[in-house]
Amino acid sequence: MTSNALTTVILAAGKGTRMKSRLPKVLHPIAGRPMLGHVLAAATGLDSTKTVLVAGPGMDDVAGYARNMAANVSIAIQQSQLGTGDAARAAATQISNRDGVVLFVFGDTPLVRRETLSDMVERCRKESDIVILAFEAADPTGYGRVVREGEEVKRIVEHKDASEEIRSIRLCFGGPMAVRAAHLQALLATLTNDNAQGEYYLTDFVAHGRAAGLSCSAVICPESDIQGVNSRADLAAAEGVMQDRLRAAAMAEGVTFLDPDTVYLSHDTVFGEDVTVGQNVVFAPGCRIGSGATIKAFSHLEGAEIGEGAEIGPFARLRPGTFVGRKAKIGNFVETKKARIEDGAKISHLSYIGDARVGPEANIGAGTITCNYDGYNKFFTDIGAGAFVGSNSSLVAPVKIGDGAYVGSGSVVTKDVAPDALAVARGKQFEKSGWAAGFRAKNETAKQKKSSGD
Ligand code: UD1
Ligand code: MG
């Protein structure tokens, strides 16, 4: 074969009924990204000439997601879900190359690695007309069984069509299949739905191809790289595998996890060197953690960028749009949203800082709240460099606290405070000497009178 053309076809039109969900199966997330996103990332990393996504009619969210994520994906619509072979047929009209390789991948196998797919494509280019991906399943129930003779794959038998003898085979079909494009049309023409499920099976390419003199071999990968997601239990199992992978990769990059199994990462979490993460921390999508930062136990971060040497938590909640500068500190029970906490600033306890900037080295006292929302609109609070906001203050946005200004504890600040000024906005304390003693004496006398009169 001369051509290196590669068309990758992702099958995602299935109804996913076993998920019992309104959300299409391939949009269920693993590590904060839809399963389809993981498969697309693996597929588009292969230098495919073209990527075709097969979706069902009305699956606009699936098609839209794929288009957003990868610019050159074309969408094929499979009118009714008649099986994986029929889905391949729906894609065929979009496959123009008559040479090179066509790689089919299922949208419900999010753990598949790019390197594995790449090995399959190479082997299909050089050695076999058809290359399938197979794995030894601990429990093969439900999977197609791979029947081999030496290295040659003879056929794949779906679980529902298999005899007891075939069911005892533990080598299963994982989903990905590479086929030389020159044979695709002929193979599609051989498909029938004469089987237990009345479906057109992609897996029949193997037996039908061999009958026509084509060769077929298997690339074998660990089960944890290819286990399919058909149910919520499978989804949870795949999440577990992905989390282990992400944790291992982070530790290899120089992150210390005090208890790795309790830390949840997203597919896009980025760590610098020498980051320390405590127990029970969640990194939702969009987090970048700078070198030397410490994220203490029970913190939840999403869409947050943390500067070098910053200290977060325990029990901090950083919401999207949070930026924390170098050596800044966010302590316990602090919530931030769309907030720029600049270098060396401190928000140590019990605060809500949203739609705000906290200048470098500013200190925000316990219980400070930015009142950013009036039920309709959001307003900005700007706190200058080195400002000191006393405990339990409410900053009613829009408002600006100047550089180096002080705000007295318990203030409700509604007007801008000039740089280096002191603002106190609370009721004035007054004192009546002896008032409490008099109050008690009066009431005690009344009480005694009442009881002696009874
Ligand atoms: C399929 C394989 C099985 C394999 C297993 C691996 C077939 C016939 N069976 O079974 O051998 O062990 O995957 O996980 O191929 N899809 C469509 N259109 C359809 C039907 C399915 O696009 O009409 C898509 C689905 O969205 C899904 C993929 O194809 O992403 C696989 O379909 P699914 O129904 O999950 O097949 P399995 O029963 O898992
Ligand atoms: Mg499946």
Distance, in Å, from the CA atom of 415 to the CA atom of 417, rounded to the nearest integer, reads: 6
Residues 250 and 222 in one domain: no
Rounded distance from Cα 84 to ligand 1 centre (Å): 6
Question: How far is 368 from 350, CA to CA, in rounded Å?
Answer: 7
327 occurs within a structural domain:
yes
Helices of type H across 178-298: 184-190, 204-211, 232-252
Phi, psi (5° rounding) for residue 264? -110, 125
* Nearest protein CA to atom 28 of ligand 1, as residue: 106
- Burial of 147: CB neighbours in 10 Å, binned 0-12, 13-18, 19+: middle
Specify the CATH number for the domain of residue 120: 3.90.550.10
Q: What separation in Å is there between the alpha carbon of 125 and the centre of ligand 2? A: 27
Q: What is the pTM of this model?
A: 0.93
For residue range 1-54, list pLDDT tens digits in order. 458 899 999 999 998 999 999 999 999 999 999 999 999 999 988 988 899 999
Statement to judge: residues 269 and 127 lie in one domain: no
Centre of ligand 1 to C-alpha 172, Å, is 13
Angle at 213 between CA 209 and CA 215, to 5 degrees: 70
Give yes or no: residues 258 and 206 share one domain: no
Q: What is the CATH number of the domain that holds 405?
A: 2.160.10.10
Of all protein residues, the one whose alpha carbon is nearest to atom 14 of ligand 1 is: 228
Distance CA 40, CA 339 (A): 33
Verify whether ligand 1 is closer than 6 Å to residue 173 (CB atom): yes
- What residues are paired with 190 via a beta bridge? none
Mean pLDDT of 208-228: 97
In a domain, 450, yes or no: no
Based on the structure, what is the number of domains in the chain? 2
Report the distance separating Cα 126 and Cα 11, nearest Å.
25
List, in sequence order, every beta strand (DSSP E) within 342-383. Answer: 346-358, 363-364, 369-371, 381-383
Distance 52 CA to ligand 1 centre (A): 16
Ligand 1 atom at minimal distance to the Cα of residue 12: 26
On average, the pLDDT of the chain sits at 96
Coil, strand or helix at 220? strand
Domain range enclosing 181: 6-226
Shared domain for 292 and 202, answered yes or no, is no
Residue 442 to residue 182: CA distance in whole angstroms = 104
- Report d(CA 157, CA 145) in Å as an integer: 5
Structural tokens at position 156: 């794949």
DSSP H or E run through 126: helix 114-126
Q: In this model, does residue 99 exceed pLDDT 90? A: no
* DSSP state letters, 21-52: -SS-GGGSEETTEEHHHHHHHHHHTT--SEEE
| Catalytic residue positions, numbered | 349
Q: Looking at the structure, do residues 324 and 393 belong to the same domain, yes or no?
A: yes
Ligand with the closest atom to the CA of 229: 2
- Asked if residue 16 and residue 147 are part of one domain, the reply reads yes
Q: Which ligand is nearest to the CA of 14?
A: 1
- Identify which of 84, 200, 202 to mutate to test ligand 1's pocket (most ligand atoms within 8 A of the CB): 84
66: CA distance to ligand 2 center in Å?
Answer: 19
Residues 236 and 194 in one domain: no
Asked if residue 435 is part of any domain, the answer here is: no
Domain boundary (193, 226, 259) is at 226
Q: Are 350 and 344 in contact (CB under 8 A)?
A: no
Q: Are residues 216 and 241 in the same domain?
A: no
Task: Judge whether residue 97 has pLDDT over 80.
Answer: no
The atom number, within ligand 1, closest to the CA of 202 reads 15
Domain-located, residue 443: no
Q: Are 375 and 357 in contact (CB under 8 A)?
A: no
For the segment 45-85, what is each residue's pLDDT rounded down to a tens digit? 898 889 999 999 999 999 999 999 988 899 999 999 999 99
In a domain, 454, yes or no: no
- Report the pLDDT value the prediction gives residue 2, as an integer from 0 to 100: 53
Average pLDDT over residues 415-441: 97
Q: 212 and 317 share a domain?
A: no
As to burial, measured by CB atoms within 10 angstroms (0-12 exposed, 13-18 middle, 19+ buried), residue 409 is middle
SS3 state of residue 449:
helix
Residue-wise pLDDT for 301-314, tens only, equals 999 999 999 999 99
Judged against a pLDDT cut of 90, whether residue 98 lies above it is answered with: no
The response to whether residue 106 sits with its C-beta less than 6 Å from ligand 1 reads yes
pLDDT band at 241 (very low <50, low <70, confident <90, very high): very high
Tell me whether residue 128 is in a domain.
yes
Look at residues 226, 251, 271 and tell me which one is the last residue of a structural domain. Answer: 226
**Confidence class for position 328, pLDDT limits 50, 70, 90:** very high
pLDDT for 243 beyond 70: yes
Ligand 1 close to Cβ of residue 19 (< 6 A): no
Query: Residue 1 contacts by C-beta under 8 Å, 6 or more apart in sequence?
Result: 99, 100, 125, 126, 180
The predicted pLDDT at position 72 comes to: 84
| Ligand 1 atom showing the smallest separation from residue 228 Cα | 14
For residue 326, pLDDT over 80 is answered with yes
- Which alpha helices (H) appear in 282-374, and where do they start and end? none
- Residue 299 CA: distances (Å) to CA of 9, 131, 324, 333: 40, 46, 14, 9
Report how far apart, in Å, the C-alpha atoms of 97 and of each of 51, 54, 184, 196, 406 are: 12, 18, 10, 33, 71
Let me know if residue 173 belongs to a domain: yes
Lowest mean pLDDT among 89-98, 235-244, 324-333: 89-98
pLDDT, mean of residues 157-184: 98
3-state helix, strand, coil in the chain (%, to 5): 25, 30, 45
**Is residue 437 included in any domain, yes or no?**
no
Instruction: Answer yes or no: do 324 and 359 share one domain.
Output: yes
Report the pLDDT value the prediction gives residue 44, as an integer from 0 to 100. Answer: 86
b or e along 248-280 (b: 16 or more beta carbons within 10 Å of the residue's beta carbon)? eebeeeebebeebeebbbbbebebbeebebbeb
Would you say how long the chain is, in residues? 454
Domain boundary (226, 261, 285) is at 226
pLDDT of residue 111: 98
CA of 99 to the centre of ligand 2 (A): 29
**253 and 179 in a common domain:** no
Q: Is 131 in the pocket of ligand 1 (CB under 6 A)?
A: no
* Ligand 1 neighbour 54 (Cβ under 6 A): yes
Indicate if 209 and 243 belong to the same structural domain. no
Confidence of residue 454 (pLDDT cuts 50, 70, 90): low
Q: Is 228 touching ligand 1 by the criterion CB < 6 Å? A: yes
Residue of 61, 106, 146 to mutate, ligand 1, most atoms within 8 A of C-beta: 106
What six digits make up the tokens of 181? 């494009």
Residue 218 Cβ contacting ligand 1 at under 6 Å: no
